[in-house]
Amino acid sequence: MSIAVLDFGGQYAHLIANRIRRLHAYARICSPRVSLDELKGVRGLILSGGPSSVYDPAQPPYNPALFDAGLPILGLCYGHQLLCQHLGGQVEPGRTREFGAARLQVAKGEGVLKDLGPEERVWMSHQDTVSRLPEGFEVLGSTDDCAMAAVYDPARRIYGLQFHPEVSHTVKGMAILENFVALCGCPRDWTMEHYLEEQAEQIKKQTAGRKVFLLVSGGVDSSVAFLMLNRILGEDRVLGLHIDNGFMRHNETALVRRLLADSGFANLHVVDASAEFLAAVEGIVEPEEKRRRIGAQFLHTRDRALAELKLDPEEWLLGQGTLYTDTIESGGTAHAAVIKTHHNRVDLIEKLLAEGKVVEPLAQLYKDEARELGEQLGLPHHLVWRHPFPGPGLAVRALCSDGQADWQGVEAAQDQASQIAARFGLQVEILPLRSVGVQGDGRTYAHPALVWGEADWPALEELSTELTNALPQINRVVYLLGPVPRPAQRLKEAHLTRQRLDLLRQADSLAMEALERHGLMQEVTQMPTVLVPLSSDGIQESVVLRPISTDDFMTARFSALPPAFVGEICRQLLAVAGIEAVFYDITHKPPGTVEWE
């Protein structure tokens, strides 16, 4: 007995299944075109979000018979809009876009909203809205900008929520999903042990006597995958390869070698390929192209290592610690948008995946599940809880530029942004560079806005949300920490060079040491330090601190860190030769991704 999650391409579609499993009920992902015969044993349907609009001719096709099957249905975001439109309601573009935190006023504490308070914090990511309900539907809850944020038809047990209960930042989200599981009458007997058993059987079948050459970064994902494969196949059939790609943190490769050796991993091979990786991205500015070239270089380096070790490539499959977040952000499901191409999802690896030559034991899991699995397998706590670090490393934290700013459509947005910031007693400037964001389940590549002046964290959070909701030209907001007054900066030409990477390595090391010194490593899930080519003299650059808190990395809140930490790290960074300004990213996810590229 299970719940079927119909995947309309939403960034959170698989996260819904993750959350249902967290409630110990089994959930499986299905196509929206699934037949009723294929749903035998299913007790309920959840319709995911997605990047499409229900009035778009190219919307994902679905099986209309699903709405007449008599099963409880929960529609989320796009799924909410789809069920309302299909059953006779109306959907139209919203007057106000909502990305991030919102307050749900609960009109009726019934059905999936049973036992919720009169007001709850929820997480939004939408541009369209339901403007008229189908016959038989009632409103359960609303927000200031969405009159029909929660609706239901009690007779047919059909529920629609404009917000996302599956993300950790909807405070009572798990209670909402638990209410739906209870309505469906699902058994509650799914465990991580079941997942381990299923994966062991699948990996043994896939490898069929062959061996696995696993790319090991030293982060939690690859370390858990390494331990898991060693347990399932034995150390003689697994070899770990750690590649120093030149984009690593200060002394990272030496640290990884020591940590894994101390944890009992003897089958690890380390190669230095920094020169080759730097050559692969020489002169490249566009972030997607950087990611593609780095992903391809990982495979070239693997092939070189196989040859040097005199290993038969036909005998060794590629292993990766891929999580589901990598897959979905790379557009890895039928209707999903590409947010950013992860290095483990470039074309060459997609080809190997299609041929069954890639082993990914964690590909259905999220970060929180990978950590739970690592603890269960006995991986040391300090390895399980290391801050994540992207495969392309500092290459996607050092923004590049040809020095030419793209200002199309920004002038009018600047005037409106200034009017919004003035209400908070702050100044704002839209910056002449762009970063990646995720809004309405789609990719954005838009401008950050820089704000400065006296303000506390709650005011900055409110301003950040208002700017990104009101202005599509802005998908990220940063706050000036120093110096005051701010220098008059312009965009400068900058590429990936050892000199820039060494500057970023130094800044990142100072930031990580400061987190440790202030006892904030557990409070902050991750804190990328980003180098941006903004300069007053064409030589110096600026850095951005991006501290976030999250469980699953599908959504995240910016971390409001103590003034003592903020003041100290700002002074330290401004003392580094080559850094002239320090910014603090005050953007949630959505609308901004965790990494800038």
Distance CA 2, CA 18 (A): 13
> Over the range 103-118, which residues count as b (16 or more CB within 10 Å of their CB) and which as e?
ebebeeebbbbeebee
Backbone angles phi, psi at 583, to 5 degrees: -115, 160
Nearest-angstrom CA–CA distance, 364 and 10: 15
Between strands 73-76 and 42-47, the pairing is parallel
96: tokens are: 């106000």
| Helix (H) / strand (E) containing 143 | strand 138-143
CA distances from 212 to 29, 237, 253, 437 (A): 28, 6, 21, 35
Among candidate residues 14, 80, 126, 164, the one labeled active-site is 164
Residue 175 to residue 162: CA distance in whole angstroms: 16
Among 80, 98, 126, 166, the one annotated catalytic: 166
**Alpha-carbon separation of residue 119 from 103, 106, 109, 126, 166 (angstroms):** 6, 6, 11, 20, 18
- Active-site residue, from 14, 30, 77, 588: 77
Nearest CA among 445, 165, 409, 490 for reference residue 286: 445
The question of whether 308 is a catalytic residue gets the answer no
432-to-20, 274, 420, 447 alpha-carbon distances in Å? 43, 30, 19, 7
Q: Strand ranges (DSSP E) for 308-452?
A: 316-319, 358-359, 401-402, 427-430, 435-439, 442-452
Q: Could you tell me which of 303, 349, 357 has the C-alpha nearest to residue 330? A: 349
Name residue, tokens 């590429």: 495
- Both tokens assigned to 127: 């541009």
CB atoms within 10 A of CB 127: 17
DSSP letter (8 states) at residue 343: G
Is residue 126 among the annotated active site residues?
A: no
Can you tell me the distance from the alpha carbon of 527 to that of 529, in angstroms, rounded to the nearest whole number?
6
Amino acid at 452: W
CA distance 253 to 219: 11
Q: Is 454 helix (H, G, I), strand (E, B) or coil?
A: coil
Element (H or E) spanning 231, and its range?
Answer: helix 220-233
Q: Is 166 annotated as catalytic?
A: yes
Residue with tokens 């405070």: 171
The catalytic site residues sit at: 77, 164, 166
